[in-house]
A and B are shown apart, each in its own frame.
Chain A
Amino acid sequence: MSVQTWTYILVGATFALYIGIAIYSRAGSTKDFYVAGGGVSPLANGMATAADWMSAASFISMAGIISFAGYDGSVYLMGWTGGYVLLALLLAPYLRKFGKFTVPDFIGDRYYSKTARIVAVICALIVSFTYVAGQMRGVGVVFSRFLQVDIDTGVIIGMIIVLFYAVLGGMKGITYTQVAQYCVLIFAFMVPAIFISIQMTGNPIPQLGMGSTLNDGSGTFLLDKLDGLSTELGFNEYTDGSKSVTDIFAITLALMVGTAGLPHVIVRFFTVKKVKDARKSAGLALLLIAILYTTAPAVSVFAKTNLINTVSNEEYSSMPVWFKNWEETGLLSFDDKNEDGKIQYVADKTKNELTIDNDIMVLANPEIADLPAWVIALVAAGGLAAALSTAAGLLLVISASVSHDLVKKVFKPNISDKAELWVARGAATVAVVIAGYFGINPPGFVAAVVALAFGLAAASFFPAIVLGIFYKKMNKEGAISGMVVGIILMLFYMTKFKFGWFGGGTPEDWWFGISPEGFGSIAMIANFIVAIIVLQFTPEPPEDVQEIVENIRIPSGAGEVTGH
């Protein structure tokens, strides 16, 4: 069977599964819709969190980015996993004990203020919308490459699927589809990785294959070989980076803290029964994520070595079929600058003749390694699962922010549960349409902004939540001014250096030598400092709020989550 047929079968089968689950797990109340009824098991929540978290970027782009960045790519590996340690130790158990539906719920109640709640809603919307646009685009891209429909049609198909199960099932539908999506995406990621690891090193475990010797009888270690090839072509050694230590440090920190502060990840921990379960499911989530995250750097090494071996200094006319196929998609392009008919892939930009998109490393990897057609099709189904699961989680945060935090808590407190459920569904529908619009007409800044969503989350939520739990005397004035300063500082730095507003600037002008991607860590520190300074000049929080804090520190008696 051809790749095309396999792709239709696998994508069709997984979509049917998601829809089936959605119909089976419809939401009947706002509690079902926001927190899946509150009785999700730790394992199911761990799987759902893993799928929620691993987006199109993790599945499709990350291994490719690391391929080209080498050691510098470690920021994503450490940053996007290390955040779970913060989440498990500093946030998840306490927020579960607190027992409300959303992150702004916590901020609003803990800081006894409507202003704090509204600031939190705005932060949640900024973070989630920037993130979701990228996901819808990812869905469209996978469709167009594997099923030859155009990107826009792909986005619309994705919208309909997400609309179906997010709007119908809310958190309940999303949770169980995410469990299925985790299985699909991890299988789709591991199968080609294991195949290629065996092919190149004879070791079936990619994590070990990466550090093994090559299969060609030379006895050379794979990483030494790749270091050698890289320096020969004028690049940095693969195992050595080009970014400064300060910047690597700052980016890793911003990604870790941002991960812990992302509302769509935090809300997943409201869905379990007990505080104990929240801790355990954070551990399971990271374990399940780590399977992909420790395999990805191995895939990067295999793919990069394979690529250099296949193309470097070879005749263009003798290139395999996949080369021509991916040239047509524009992800790969060859420009014979010295007209010798051979491909020169070198660091020197004036002599380099090959341009390669990051995404190709995962998407084309099975073809480069000559794997069977069903494996190639599997990658398409996996990429879609990754993008759809994250999109759904984000849409839920958006709809809950509107229906619960704005409509119910600010504008219309006596709205009935049934009416609130309909508002939530309506908000989810509007959010899908907006996300789809951005997917079809991506503003140029989407790609740049997705990475910065972490900086925004780090600069706004993380300090406010941590202080709310660990610093009993923190008051609303401190927390609100901290969040406002943090997010504005981050927005300023990001627009200045990414879009050239406020006079723009080059990397030489970066503050402390820190890139916009890493600036979230500085903005977070600013948030903490501002909050603590303002606290000194403003009144203590009321007695009952301090009691809430004492209460969330004790794990027992978590009870049911409620919206009231």
Chain B
Amino acid sequence: MSEKQKKATAYWKENVSYLFILLAIWFVVSFGAGILFKEALDTIKIGGFKLGFWFAQQGSIYVFVILIFVYVRLMNKLDKKYGYNE
């Protein structure tokens, strides 16, 4: 494998591992907290919100926004590390 290809493979591996972590969080806040564990979380109350309900109608959306911006940052750094930034 050429040097160039090695670099590309290493970059791709790191990229995919970021995706796994970020998508795991994506799954946990929506399908986890908002749906599967909604009942259990609803026993906890923050202000007027039952926690499971809050995740389903508010919290998951905030986390989604944060996730994309974290991804943007991570990838910009990664691009720099491998010299793919322009």
- With both beta carbons as reference points, the residue of chain A lying nearest to B47 in the complex is identified as A211
What is the 8 Å Cβ interface bit string for chain A, positions 199-226, against chain B (1 contact, 0 not)? 0000000010011110000000111100
Q: How far is the CA of A294 from the CA of B19 in the complex (A)?
A: 25
Q: Give the Cβ gap from B26 to chain A, nearest Cβ, in Å.
A: 5
Question: CB distance B67 to A85 under 8 Å?
Answer: yes
Q: Which residues B22-59 have CB closer than 8 A to chain A?
A: 22-23, 26, 30-31, 34-36, 38, 42, 46-50, 53-54, 56-58
Q: Does B17 sit within 8 A of A, measured CB to CB?
A: no
Interfacial chain A residues near B62, Cβ < 8 Å: 290, 294
CB of B31 within 8 A of CB of A252, answer yes
On whether the beta carbons of B86 and A279 are closer than 8 Å, the reply is no
Chain B contacts for A16, CB-based, 8 A: none
Q: In the complex, which of the residues B48, B69, B86 contacts A211, with contact meaning CB atoms closer than 8 Å?
A: B48
The interface stretch among A130-138, A368-376, A532-540, A548-556 is A548-556
Enumerate A67-98 residues with CB–CB distance to B below 8 Å: 71, 73-74, 77-78, 81-82, 84-85, 88-90, 93
CB distance from B7 to the nearest CB of A (A): 9
Are B58 and A297 in contact, CB atoms less than 8 angstroms apart? Answer: yes
Q: How large is the interface on A (under 10, 10 to 19, 20 to 34, 35 or more residues)?
A: 35 or more
Q: Which residues of B contact A71 (CB under 8 A)?
A: 38, 53, 56-57
Least CB distance, A514 to chain B, in whole angstroms: 14
Q: Does residue A276 face the partner (Cβ distance < 8 Å to B)? A: yes
Instruction: Assess whether B71 is in contact with A78, with CB atoms less than 8 Å apart.
Output: no
Main secondary structure of the interface of B (DSSP, over half): helix
Tell me, in angstroms, the Cα distance from A276 to B65 when the chains sit together: 17
Contact, CB under 8 Å: A280 / B72:
yes
Residues B61 and A283 in contact, CB atoms below 8 Å apart: no
The answer on a CB contact under 8 Å between A74 and B47 is no
Cβ of A282 < 8 Å from any Cβ of B? yes
Residues of A within 8 A of B68 (CB): 84-85, 88-89, 279, 282-283, 286
Q: Give 5 nearest A-B pairs by CB, closest first.
A: A221-B48, A74-B56, A283-B68, A211-B48, A556-B84
Binding site for A on B (CB under 8 A): 8, 11-12, 15-16, 19, 22-23, 26, 30-31, 34-36, 38, 42, 46-50, 53-54, 56-58, 60-62, 64-65, 67-69, 71-72, 75-76, 79, 83-86
28 A-B interface contacts by CB (under 8 A): A66-B57, A71-B57, A77-B56, A77-B61, A78-B56, A78-B60, A85-B23, A88-B68, A88-B72, A210-B48, A210-B49, A211-B49, A212-B47, A213-B48, A223-B53, A252-B34, A279-B72, A280-B72, A282-B68, A283-B65, A283-B68, A283-B69, A297-B58, A470-B16, A553-B12, A554-B8, A555-B84, A556-B85
